[in-house]
Amino acid sequence: MQAQLNVGIQAIELLGYQGNHGLGKITTDLELEDELLNNNNYRTLWDSENESESEYEFSPPGETAENWVLHGSKTVFMLDLLDNLPRLQFSDDTIKAIIWVMKECGTPNVPTFTAFHMLQQKLDCSIGLTPEHHTSSLGNYFYVLHPAKLFALDWANPLVCPHINPFPEIKESMSEFWQGEKWLSEVPIDELSPMWADLERVPRVHFYVKELVRLSNGRCVVLKRWVIWKREVHGEVYDIAYNSEIYSDNGVWHEAHDCKAEEEILFQLIPHVLPADNPQQSENTSHVGGQGNMKCCRDLRGGTDAEKESDTGYHGMFSPGIPHTPRNTVDCLREQIALACLGRQKTIEKLQTETGVKDKTAGFWIKILLEKA
């Protein structure tokens, strides 16, 4: 506590402040904190010129700075973790109160709020995770991190990387989605992991799908896909002409560091499963929903109650119907917007009932057009 107070008073004297300032004044005066943050001469708790004080701040009894690289101590790490809980957001005033309570309880290595905030800014810049600003079609503003950057952190995390499964798995029972028949037979080869690296061989060798390779017995084959069978990686092979397009750059590959392989890698994001309930899936596909006559968001099965109760309509509910296509959906939405310009609301509702096409974003503008028609 005395070391923190001395460093804080040093910072005040550098700014020209005189008088008897207490530690509580340093951590709660917002105007003083802003001035300290913008002053280049300000030294944080871990930038003290006194080496012994700096070591004390980083390394309280039983703790070394090397164990908490980047943050410098377990206390600062836990504060940063607390301040970044995704479902429990704290304001600056709340964090200041937590810091004050920790100091009052004698917790070692507690920084000031200003020093803590400066460290967070430094960490944000070093990691390079900058939220991107987006504007939705309804005019709403929001910030989001690119999923590829988040997955790149998973590859570099030694606690997460061993659990990443980039290959489909052949197994009698199914407990994970990568063990499903979709991955093994339905997903195109270009959307599966295109490479397996032999990490045990020196130098390391990378084997790509659609590439001519020679087996240990001298036989030449072309790799079709990589699969996992009995917890071992196996290659499914067949004879096919060499395809040079495997090396074409289509802009979907992202860089990451594989901590397990200890080398830089490329990966791409291909969602095989889009988790959502039926209402959300209907909204994503511009579908009227389960309460409409056309209950399926994938095809045109359905009709009125009388039509579905007929023999033809009843049996039709158990067989594939005419599929919804992006082109037909867009054409139907354009027709609804054109009718909205004419003020024909009932015709729009009838068209939505007959086709099952109803889009939330288009509905926002249709409502405005009907009011102005």
pLDDT above 70 (res 144): yes
Average pLDDT for residues 9-18, to the nearest whole number? 37
- pLDDT recorded at residue 10: 39
- pLDDT recorded at residue 273: 64
Distances in Å between the alpha carbon of 200 and those of 203, 204, 243, 261? 9, 7, 28, 10
Average pLDDT for residues 268-293, to the nearest whole number? 77
Q: Which residue has the higher pLDDT, 196 or 14?
A: 196
Q: Which residue has the higher pLDDT, 188 or 244?
A: 188
Average pLDDT for residues 74-96, to the nearest whole number? 90
pLDDT above 60 (res 32): no
- pLDDT recorded at residue 133: 92
Distances in Å between the alpha carbon of 304 and those of 146, 211, 309, 320, 345? 44, 54, 9, 18, 20
Percent of the chain with pLDDT over 70: 77
pLDDT above 70 (res 361): yes
pLDDT above 60 (res 276): yes
Residue 364 pLDDT level (bands cut at 50, 70, 90) = very high
Distance CA 64, CA 61 (A): 8
Average pLDDT for residues 278-294, to the nearest whole number? 82
Range with lowest mean pLDDT among 78-82, 123-127, 369-373: 123-127
Distances in Å between the alpha carbon of 354 and those of 171, 278, 290, 322, 344? 44, 20, 14, 14, 16
Range with lowest mean pLDDT among 249-258, 262-271, 316-325: 249-258
Average pLDDT for residues 186-205, to the nearest whole number? 79
Contacts (Cβ under 8 Å, ≥6 apart) of 144: 131, 132, 134
Q: Which residue has the higher pLDDT, 39 or 262?
A: 262
Distance CA 8, CA 279 (A): 56
- pLDDT recorded at residue 98: 93
Residue 22 pLDDT level (bands cut at 50, 70, 90) = very low
pLDDT above 90 (res 231): no
Residue 34 pLDDT level (bands cut at 50, 70, 90) = low
Antiparallel, parallel or unpaired: β 263-267 and 232-238: unpaired
Range with lowest mean pLDDT among 38-42, 92-96, 99-103, 228-232: 38-42
pLDDT above 80 (res 239): no
Distance CA 107, CA 98 (A): 11
pLDDT above 70 (res 36): no
- pLDDT recorded at residue 49: 36
Q: Tokens standing for 110? A: 């507690």
Antiparallel, parallel or unpaired: β 254-258 and 263-267: antiparallel
pLDDT above 60 (res 258): yes
**For the chain, what is the mean pLDDT?**
76
- pLDDT recorded at residue 205: 80
CA 112 to chain centre: 31
pLDDT above 70 (res 241): no
Average pLDDT for residues 216-226, to the nearest whole number? 79
CB 168 within 8 A of CB 286: no
Burial class (CB in 10 A: 0-12, 13-18, 19+), 372: exposed
Q: Tokens standing for 372? A: 């102005």
Q: Give me the long-range contacts of 164-171 (CB less than 8 A, separation at least 24).
A: 165/228, 166/193, 166/267, 167/192, 167/193, 167/196, 167/226, 167/227, 167/228, 167/233, 168/192, 168/225, 168/227, 168/228, 169/227, 169/228, 169/229, 170/227, 170/228, 170/229
Q: Which residue has the higher pLDDT, 201 or 107?
A: 107
- For residue range 306-348, what is the model confidence (pLDDT) as tens digits? 888 888 888 888 888 888 888 999 999 999 999 999 999 999 9
CB 276 within 8 A of CB 284: yes
